[in-house]
Amino acid sequence: MTYTESLAQPSLLDLAKEGHPQAITYWMNSLLAPQGVSVQVNQSPDRWLNVQVNFHHPKRKDQCLNLQQRLVRFVCYRLWTLNSASIHQVRIIARQAGDRRILWKQAVRITTPATQQSSVLALSPSISTPAPLTFRLMRILFISRLTAVSVILSCWWFYAQLINAHWIHQNRLATSTPIPLDPPPTIAPSPEASPSPVPLPPKLQPSFKMVDVPEQFRGKVINKAEALAMPKVVALTFDDGPWPNTTEQVLDILKEHEIKATFFFVGQHMKTYPKIAKKVADAGHALGNHTEHHYTHTLDPQTAAQEIESTSKLIFETTGIKTKLFRPPGGNLESGLADYAASKGYGIMMWSSDSEDYYVSTPVLIDNVLKSVTPGGIVLFHDGGGDRRNTIEALPQIITTLKEQGYRFVTVPELLEIEAKQTPLNQTEEE
């Protein structure tokens, strides 16, 4: 195989995105093998993707059972990041290695932009056959007549404008007065009169808004605010927007409850929906950088820099906001993105409460948040990247319940300012 032919071969990740079971198997095993877990993936005749999970620690059967929700969450999120139109129904089956008995089994549905697009294409009507010759001739004649009428009307309008301009010019010449030869006498200013003060130009204000983090948090990874006397405040964050309908529905809910939140935008989505991004900024919410393409795998330094810098520039050009908030896609701190962001003084914003809204039902989503929220916490939701109806349904109940528990809602920069006022700078540097 020549060098050129090798470059033309699809990568393992590309094959996995196409839904190739063997590629998904290799990819998942590369992630889970260090944990003593192996995976075998195959496609069933009913289009379900079967993920067989094998635990290789026979003496830890109880622990394997306890890992069910964490492992399901991990598998679902990793499959979701592939954004494949072939992956939408997943059946996860867990076994002890060497034992055919099933420890547990769970079926889930994963919705990504690719699956949504494929469903829309499937519902769209087929391409119609060419119109009959008679109809096409009639259409050509009709368009030709319209063109001729348009040309005639344009010529008539242009002629009318010339006539009107000529008449105005003649009228002005007839009524004009002769120009005086001597200039009018000038009036000397009175010695008592003082010159009026010349008004100073208004002070120029910055043409952009800065979303910054306190100095002690720049380049740091933050899961929550942990000051000793932290009040009952919590920050709601939304990833992967802007997104049609969903982001605007989230904005309506937040406005109804008089809440400000923090949105981490994906660059590609901002290019597609710039008006929605501007609407979020105009509503007074804080904005953060979530990279241009939402890559979750390891990147070289140049690509990592491009992912962050291009999105930062796009946020500024679209909304007029410069931000120092960054959230790595998938929470992956080892991809090279977090390292670059830290070197540029970004606050690396993670979370303390995961709603898991990318695959769980509305009741489970609500329970995930309410049981994990603590003062100073950061809650992870998604307003983009797929079907977010469960998030829209759960959000009002979560907000109402937390308000009843005495919580107040703030943006991430406000949360960090609260902690900064209670934490000395030198103490944070020592940590």
280, 242 in Cβ contact below 8 A? yes
DSSP letter assigned to residue 202: P
Both ends of the chain: CA-CA distance in Å?
53
251, 362 in Cβ contact below 8 A? no
Catalytic residue among 239, 240, 357, 383: 239
269 included as an active-site residue = no
335, 328 in Cβ contact below 8 A? yes
93, 105 in Cβ contact below 8 A? yes
Both tokens of 29, joined, read: 């095993």
Burial of 268 (0-12, 13-18, 19+ CB in 10 A): middle
348 phi and psi angles, rounded to 5 deg: -85, 100
Closest among 224, 221, 269, 225 to 382, alpha carbons compared: 269
State how far the alpha carbon of 261 is from the alpha carbons of 12, 180, 232, 248, 311, in Å.
Answer: 38, 70, 16, 13, 20
In angstroms and rounded to an integer, the radius of gyration of the C-alpha atoms of the chain is 32
The 3-class SS string of 17-83 reads HCCCHHHHHHHHHHHHHHHCEEEEEEECCCCCEEEEEEECCHHHHHHHHHCHHHHHHHHHHHHHHCC
As a whole number of angstroms, the distance between CA 331 and CA 346 comes to: 15
As a whole number of angstroms, the distance between CA 28 and CA 15 comes to: 13
289, 235 in Cβ contact below 8 A? no
118, 110 in Cβ contact below 8 A? no
State the pairing for strand pair 49-55/37-43.
Answer: antiparallel
382 included as an active-site residue = yes
As a whole number of angstroms, the distance between CA 1 and CA 18 comes to: 23
Catalytic residue among 88, 240, 382, 383: 382
Both tokens of 311, joined, read: 């999105």
As a whole number of angstroms, the distance between CA 153 and CA 183 comes to: 50
- Which residue numbers are catalytic? 239, 382
